[in-house]
């Protein structure tokens, strides 16, 4: 199990600040949802945490500064399932999983693969199928199983439910919960706020590069601000959209005489 903490994490693209002073924590064995609208900076944050882009600020893994190079981050026990899965479509399910275990000593690789098929029994039946011929949900499952091949301490998922049918989303999120209960800490970016909050322990809401709300998942799910911003209530009639920050501002405006 592992604990992640960011302190004033920052990322700029040229003159534009995309992630600003983000301080969050994910405790051992928790599922933490990072929620927010398109363009909020969620993917950028995950990329920065995984060393795919340079970052400012500090990232601590179990109290020690996290390395900055991706292969060192992976070696430290951190795995990322990127948005869009990025499987090798012309390779079989088993081959994709084996590639996920490239850092595992060769002698342990077969053992990890056998474990993946215990954890993801559906994939065992499909071991020889080409990954590119699987449904979106099945591919997402391969992507998660591949990330689990190196037995990470911390698993990060970028929009795992994107484009999946509701039943598949439920199945996948159940797997995510099981992974955390089995001891891997999970940080999950999700736009499917309602469903994410049913499996998460805590959540952070990000907008325009900053965190605008956080708390236990059950409280966030009940929060008027979150419901207004993401769960369909009280949308701006002009744009059909709203945001958590706008919702906070509106509520403050109502409360201020």
**Residue ranges in contact with ligand ATP by CB under 6 A:** 13, 18, 36, 38-44, 191
Asked if 171 and 137 count as a contact pair (C-beta separation under 8 A), the reply is: yes
- Nearest CA to 159 among 131, 120, 192, 201? 192
- Nearest CA to 2 among 186, 126, 210? 186
Of the pair 120, 204, the CB lying nearest ligand ATP is at 204
Of the pair 84, 183, the CB lying nearest ligand ATP is at 84
Of the pair 35, 97, the CB lying nearest ligand ATP is at 35
Enumerate the β-bridge partners of residue 32. 187, 202
Of the pair 40, 79, the CB lying nearest ligand ATP is at 40
Of the pair 39, 232, the CB lying nearest ligand ATP is at 39
Report, in Å, the least distance between residue 30 CB and ligand ATP.
Answer: 21
Report, in Å, the least distance between residue 130 CB and ligand ATP.
Answer: 27
Residue 203: CB atoms within 10 A of its CB come to 27
Give the CA angle between residues 183, 186, 189 to the nearest 5°: 165
Report, in Å, the least distance between residue 158 CB and ligand ATP.
Answer: 7
- Nearest CA to 97 among 50, 140, 65, 145? 145
Report, in Å, the least distance between residue 246 CB and ligand ATP.
Answer: 16
Report, in Å, the least distance between residue 100 CB and ligand ATP.
Answer: 23
Of the pair 115, 191, the CB lying nearest ligand ATP is at 191
Helix, strand or coil for residue 212? strand
Report, in Å, the least distance between residue 200 CB and ligand ATP.
Answer: 17
Helix and strand element counts for the chain (H, E): 11, 11
Q: In sequence order, what are the residues at sequence separation of 6 or more whose Cβ sits closer than 8 angstroms to the Cβ of residue 57?
A: 6, 7, 8, 9, 10, 21, 22
Q: Give the DSSP letter string of 158-175.
A: E-TTTT--HHHHHHHHHH
Report, in Å, the least distance between residue 104 CB and ligand ATP.
Answer: 30
Of the pair 13, 102, the CB lying nearest ligand ATP is at 13
């Amino acid at each position: 199990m592992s604990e992640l903490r960011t302190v004033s994490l920052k990322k700029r693209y040229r003159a534009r600040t995309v992630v600003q002073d983000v301080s969050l924590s994910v405790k051992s064995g928790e599922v933490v949802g990072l929620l927010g609208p398109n363009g909020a900076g969620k993917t950028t944050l995950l990329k920065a945490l995984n060393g795919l882009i340079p970052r400012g600020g500090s990232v601590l893994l179990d109290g020690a500064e996290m390395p900055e190079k991706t292969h060192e981050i992976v070696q430290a026990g951190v795995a990322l399932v990127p948005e869009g899965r990025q499987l090798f479509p012309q390779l079989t399910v088993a081959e994709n999983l084996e590639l996920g275990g490239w850092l595992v000593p060769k002698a342990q690789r077969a053992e990890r693969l056998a474990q993946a098929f215990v954890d993801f029994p559906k994939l065992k039946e499909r071991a020889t199928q080409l990954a590119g011929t699987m449904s979106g949900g099945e591919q997402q499952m391969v992507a998660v199983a591949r990330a689990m091949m190196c037995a990470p301490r911390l698993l990060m998922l970028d929009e795992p439910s994107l484009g999946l049918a509701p039943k598949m989303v439920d199945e996948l999120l159940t797997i995510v919960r099981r992974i955390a209960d089995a001891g891997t800490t999970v940080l999950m970016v999700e736009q499917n706020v309602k469903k994410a909050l049913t499996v998460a322990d805590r959540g952070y809401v990000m907008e325009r590069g900053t965190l605008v709300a956080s708390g236990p998942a059950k409280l966030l799910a009940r929060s008027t601000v979150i419901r207004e911003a993401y769960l369909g209530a009280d949308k701006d009639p002009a744009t059909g959209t709203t945001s958590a920050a706008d919702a906070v501002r509106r509520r403050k405006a109502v409360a201020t005489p």
